[in-house]
Structure 1
Amino acid sequence: MSIFGLPDQQVRALATPVRSDETTDAGVPAPWAEIFARAAWTGIAEPGDGLAGLVVNSLGATTGLTAVLEGWAPARVAAVLIDAGYDDSEDELGTRLDQGLLRWRPRLNSVEVERSLAQAARVGARLLLPTDALWPRSLNDLLAHTPLALWWRGTEAALASIPQSIALVGARAATGYGEHVAMEAAAGLVDRGFTIVSGAAYGIDGTAHRTALASHGSTVAFLAGGVDRFYPAGHDGLLAKIATDGAVLSELACGSAPTKWRFLQRNRLIAAASLATVVLEAGWRSGSLNTASHAATLGRPLGAVPGPVTSPTSAGCHRLIREFDAVCVTTAAEMAELVGERSVQVPLDYAEADGSTSDPEARTSDQVRVFDALSGRLPRPLPDIARRAGLSTSAVRAALGALDVDGVVGERGAGWVRLH
């Protein structure tokens, strides 16, 4: 069958370089059409899109993509999902599908898919499917929000070590105390056979990754953009080293830029992939608390390292211990003890990604995505904003209205710009 009107031979030629000899759990290669369709979905749906997960997991990536390409009516897609066993008794599935199709269709572009696959081949990135033997099974705890596929660069040994990993996260503006604790923790955990998982940000994340590498251990970095464009730029050398000796992963197609929304969603992968999450240093509203929130929601063990009571960069850790039952940990040995202790924590809904923060009543997720999609210089028209944000035009229009009232965006000629 053809996809995007491309013949089977071309689909296979595009998919082959990003798969190499990878096989499924059953020991057989995945179908080329499924590989191509999964790759396409990583550029069409935003990370964590539960509706996209439902469609792809129920219908298959190829059929799901065909439904979007051929403009199936929401009622038709809903009927197929119900036939496949989905229970629609308490869910407005048709309405949700209508909104989903409006989000995805602006991003349907065969040229973009071909370009992202070609870029992946150039940098040596490969596509990991949920049926692959090396797929981190703990990510499946995210249910409908499980990644549709993962792009990765690195070693198979690092991927295989993820089931024995602990996430170390913390403030970007780390103090000397925080960096010292991160070094001691990463080195001690590596000595105990654990892989270090983090997000490659400045501060605690970078220190944890560097120490793991220096200790001849394994480390894995989850990114909020494509694996072909390392972020932050100041960690280009570090990420190149991780991509050589460890593994760098992302659920976004090559060429994708990191945004605030994508950092939020990236954090769920860090928490889900790891046996436990430890926050080493964090301000009262540090972005690392968002990772703690995901770990708590998933029932993963959560630890926090205390700091000086006068230090604002430890206030978040103290908050986790005091208000949300995080375990107080001070050494690598105590962090290792978290593994095997499963307890459900209270979700933290207030933290935003990558160190940025807002109050609970602040911007909605749609408003965050629309704000990220705007430029501070060039006006962007509504359809372009919808494509960049991965939202329907009606959702974008509503978000722009709210942002306009707040005075942070403005209409300029034929488009909208960011004002602050």
Structure 2
Amino acid sequence: MRDVGEEEREARAALTRIVEPGDETVGRWLRQTTPVHLVQSLAGEREMPAGVSKKKFAGLRLRAARVDMSAGPAADLAAVAALGGRFVCPGDEEWPRQLDDLEDGRPIGLWVRGSANLRLWALRSVAVVGARACTEYGAHMAATLGSGLADRGWTVVSGAAYGVDGAAHRGALAAQGATIAVLACGVDYAYPRGHAELIGRLAEQGLVVAELPPGDHPTRSRFVLRNRVIAALTRGTVVVEAELRSGSLVTARRATELGRYMMGMPGPVTSGLSAGVHQLLRGEAVVVTDAAEVVELVGSIGDLAPARRGPIVARDLLDPVASRVLEAVPARGGADARRLAYDSGTAEEVAQGKLFELQSLGFVQRCGAVWELARASKGAAGSRRGGP
């Protein structure tokens, strides 16, 4: 992997102030020319690249005119360094190469706060997203999922928003695990304001990542564009709660487009906050209910969730014939061996043998010629008779 020079790093840093995240037109230009040459063209120091739309280029030049090309990029790099951060570019050792799947829409670079290696943490990462105005159920499940993934050595990625995002981050932090917040603003800009403390903790114990330079603020479109980074950075996306119209669904569907796993955590069918998740589950999403099931899907061969079974009772261990004979014994009163053989569809001598076997196991007792349920079994007789 090549080393990114300081000139290119400053040029890419400048472009994050000029270009909106996910601008595929600029992404195509960067395949035709270098970031340094593109910045010089936008500053009027070079001719406009060939094949570039004049209208689009003129708009970007207006934005570039507000940027001090000589000092601005260096000041932004110094500002993020003062926060203990850095600016990671395509080509750097720390660059998560799965972001290249976004092709022309990949980030120009990422502003990062935190000491961990972004590429290494992102290799085993899962996005947990969902409603901002989530229910107590949604918050509980997101926090449990976050801590469960962290306990298994997986990085939890989300957007630091209210609701499901914040709960997932807190769950991972409580488990002393790895978690990454992808913001729709600068890494030094706490949004939402009510999560200023959480974002500070994420910068200390985890990572805070953004495409926008220090001090930049969020907009509605930037939240949507931020979601593509969450989807591309991770191996899969879990939606905990979401209405039918939700940015979380955009993230999940983008994950599918990028070849990642799309998962949904079901909720009550009467809850509008689970309606979007259930719609995903009617399509390509996979049902998950805990961290083990998520890891089974996105992890390596052998990362299997434990098998789920109901409680095993003594009756489950009986052979089919003994089980039929026991079913024939009346819940109240009793019956002789001939009647029990008839009711169970078994030969009388076979039924007689099974009754003695059931007696030794404590299921039935004998009163003269009549067999009845043992006292310990009578309490379960009602549920047995009403069951399938």
Is this a same-fold pair by TM over 0.5? yes
SS of equivalent to 2:156: strand
Tell me the equivalent position of 2:287: 328
SS of equivalent to 2:270: coil
Tell me the equivalent position of 1:337: 296
Percent identity over paired residues: 45
Q: Which has the larger radius of gyration?
A: 2
How far 1:158 sits from its partner (Å)?
Answer: 5.2
Query: 1:73, 1:50 → 2: CA distance?
Result: 21
The reply to whether residue 294 of structure 1 matches residue 250 of structure 2 is: no
Query: 2:181, 2:57 → 1: CA distance?
Result: 32
Deviates more, 1:332-341 or 1:224-233: 332-341
Give per-residue Cα distances to partners, 1:236-259, cap 9 Å, x unaligned. Answer: 111111111110000111121100
Tell me the equivalent position of 2:17: 43
The reply to whether residue 148 of structure 1 matches residue 108 of structure 2 is: yes
How far 1:235 sits from its partner (Å)?
Answer: 0.8
Q: Is the contact made by 1:116 and 1:255 (CA closer than 8 Å) also made in structure 2?
A: no
Q: Is the contact made by 2:77 and 2:86 (CA closer than 8 Å) also made in structure 1?
A: no
Tell me the equivalent position of 2:60: 104
Tell me the equivalent position of 2:310: none
Tell me the equivalent position of 2:37: 63
Tell me the equivalent position of 1:380: none
Give per-residue Cα distances to partners, 1:354-379, cap 9 Å, x unaligned. Answer: xxxxxxxxxxxxxxxxxxxxxxxxxx
2:17 counterpart letter in structure 1: G
Query: 2:87, 2:268 → 1: CA distance?
Result: 44
Runs of 4+ in 1 over 4 A off after TM superposition: 71-74
How far 1:103 sits from its partner (Å)?
Answer: 2.6
Match of 1:167 among 127, 133, 137: 127
Query: 1:159, 1:214 → 2: CA distance?
Result: 23
SS of equivalent to 2:22: coil
The reply to whether residue 208 of structure 1 matches residue 164 of structure 2 is: no
The reply to whether residue 265 of structure 1 matches residue 221 of structure 2 is: no
The reply to whether residue 178 of structure 1 matches residue 138 of structure 2 is: yes
If asked which structure has higher relative contact order (CA below 8 Å, sep 6+), I would say 1
TM-score (norm 1): 0.67
How far 1:43 sits from its partner (Å)?
Answer: 0.6
Q: Is the contact made by 1:280 and 1:304 (CA closer than 8 Å) also made in structure 2?
A: yes
Deviates more, 1:41-50 or 1:180-189: 180-189
Q: Is the contact made by 2:288 and 2:294 (CA closer than 8 Å) also made in structure 1?
A: yes
Superposed CA RMSD: 1.8
SS of equivalent to 1:177: helix
Query: 2:77, 2:299 → 1: CA distance?
Result: 40
How far 1:71 sits from its partner (Å)?
Answer: 6.5
Tell me the equivalent position of 1:393: none
How far 1:133 sits from its partner (Å)?
Answer: 0.8
How far 1:118 sits from its partner (Å)?
Answer: 4.4
Match of 2:154 among 194, 197, 204: 194
How far 1:122 sits from its partner (Å)?
Answer: 3.5
1:243 counterpart letter in structure 2: A
Could you list the runs of 5+ residues in structure 2 that have no partner in the other structure?
A: 301-388
SS of equivalent to 2:298: coil
**CA 296–224 in structure 1, closer or farther in 2 if over 3 Å, else same:** same
1:214 counterpart letter in structure 2: A
**CA 157–122 in structure 1, closer or farther in 2 if over 3 Å, else same:** closer
Aligned length: 296
The reply to whether residue 239 of structure 1 matches residue 213 of structure 2 is: no
